Amino acid sequence: RTLKIGLIPGDGIGREVIPAGRRILEALPSSLNLKFSFTHLDAGWETFQKQGVALPDKTVEVLKSDCDGALFGAVSSPTVQTKGYSSPIVALRKRLGLYANVRPVKSVGSGGKVGKVDMVIVRENTEDLYVKEEKTYTAADGSKVAEAIKRITEKASYNIAAMAGDIALRRQRVREAGAESIHSRPQVTVTHKSNVLSQTDGLFRETARRALAEQKYQSVKVEEQIVDSMVYKLFRQPADYDVIVAPNLYGDILSDGAAALVGSLGLVPSANVGTGFAIGEPCHGSAPDIEGKGIANPIATLRSTALMLEFMGEEEAAAVIYKAVDANLEEGRLLSPDLGGKATTEEVIEDVCKRL
C-alpha cells in the first residue's frame, strides 16, 4: 500500500521537525509493506508575507484531492494585529472538517515530579470561540468594545463525545491485550464551565452525557469537571484521568497543561481527525527562541506521525514508532535540551530510526 502524505512544515522549528516525520516513515521496516510518497505544501506566516494568504487554496486542494494524511509543523503569528492574517491551522481544521483534536499525554518510565501520567485529551476542533466571528465597535463614550461568538452545537458536541468514548474503549482493548497501564477501566471526564455558561457549555455537557450514555459505552465510567477545577486536578492527581473531552478552547489549554506534566511540550503529539483523514501536528509552537539551532525535539512530531497512521488504520506501524520513541526516552542517553540532554534534532531522529 502506498500512502500519500502532505508535509506542511510552516515556520520556525516546524521546518526542523517535519523532516523527522518523513524520515521515520521511510525507515519503517519493509515487513509492514507500506510505501509513502510526499508532497510539500505551504502555510504560515512566511507564506502570508510572500503570497498574501497564510493558507493558500492550493494547500487545501492538494490535501483534499491528493493526500491520504498529512503532517503539520507549526506556524508563527504576527506580533501585531495584521489585516488579513488568520491562523492557517485553525482554518485547515475547519476546511477539512477535522472535527477532533486528539492529544495523548503519556509519561515514560516512572513519570516526572507528578508521577505517572497516561491520558488523552480529546478536543473539539471546529467551533467554540474558534469560529472567529468577531466585531469591534465604539461605545457612546468613544472607547472600544470587541465581541466574539462562542458557538457550541449539539452535533459537534455529540461527535466529539462519541470520539472520546471510542478512544476510551480502544484504550481498554489495548490494556486487555496486555499493555501495561495505570488505568484499570475506561473513563471519560467531560470538562465544561456550565456553572457560568449554562446554555453553551450546558449544551456541551448534556449532549456529551447523552452520547456517552449509549449502550456501546456502557463500560465507560463518565465523570465531569468544571474547567478551572479540571486544571487544578490535572496537576494534583493526573493519574486519575484516562480520557478528557472538552470544547475547543478548554481542550487547547488543558493539553498544554497536561504537556507540562510529562516534562516538555516537545514530547506531546496531536492528530486533527476527520472522517477518513488525519493531520498529525506536534503540540509545540514554532519556538522562535530555538529556531535554526538544530536542537528542537522531534519526538512530538514522531509521535504525531504515529498518531496519524493510527487514524489511517495503520495501527501496527504506529505501534512500531511508539515503541522506538519510548525506548529512546527510557534509555535517556540521546535527549534534546528541553529534556535536559545535549542531543541535536538529527541525533534523536537517528536514534529513534535505529530502534525501529
Ligand X SMILES: CC(C)[C@H](C(=O)O)[C@@H](O)C(=O)O
Binding region for ligand X (CB under 6 A) = 87, 89-90, 195-196, 228, 252
Give yes or no for residue 289 binding a copy of itself (CB under 8 A): no
> Is the separation of the CB atoms in 167 and 211 below 8 Å?
no
Give 12 or 111: the residue with its C-beta nearer to ligand X. 12
The rounded distance, in Å, linking the Cα atoms of 33 and 107 is: 30
Q: How far apart are CA 119 and CA 188, in angstroms?
A: 10
Q: Grid coordinates in use for 340?
A: 535536559
Q: How far is the CB of 258 from ligand X (least distance, A)?
A: 12
- As measured in angstroms, the least distance from the Cβ of 271 to ligand X is 11
Max Cα distance, the chain (Å):
71
| Least distance from ligand X to the Cβ atom of residue 39, Å | 22
Residues 241-260 that bind a copy of itself (CB under 8 A): 249, 252-253, 255-257, 259-260
What gap in Å lies between CA 74 and CA 283, rounded to an integer?
8
The entry of a copy of itself, ligand X, none near residue 149 (CB within 5 to 8 angstroms by kind) is a copy of itself
Q: Which of 274, 319, 317, 329 is nearest to 93 (CA)?
A: 274
- Applying CB under 8 A, does 140 fall inside the site for a copy of itself? no
325 touches a copy of itself by CB under 8 A:
no
Residue nearer to a copy of itself on the CB measure, 25 or 156: 156
Decide if 68 contacts 5 (C-beta within 8 A): yes
The nearest distance, CB 227 to ligand X, in angstroms, is: 9
Contact 297, 336 (CB under 8 A): yes
Residue (232 or 331) nearer to ligand X, CB: 232
How far apart (Å, rounded) are the C-alpha atoms in residues 90 and 185?
A: 34
Binding window for a copy of itself (CB under 8 A); candidates: 51-59, 124-132, 211-219, 325-333:
124-132
According to DSSP, the residues that pair with 5 across neighbouring strands are: 38, 69
CA-to-CA distance for 299 and 297, rounded, in angstroms? 6
Among the listed ranges 1-9, 13-21, 84-92, 159-167, the one in contact with a copy of itself (CB under 8 A) is 84-92
Query: For ligand X, which is the closer residue by CB, 51 or 195?
Result: 195
SS3 134: strand
In 3D space, the residue among 19, 17, 16, 85 whose CA is nearest the CA of residue 55 turns out to be 85
List of residues contacting a copy of itself (CB under 8 A): 77, 81, 86-87, 90, 113-114, 129-130, 132, 134-136, 139, 143-155, 193-200, 202-203, 206-207, 227-229, 231-236, 249, 252-253, 255-257, 259-261, 265, 285
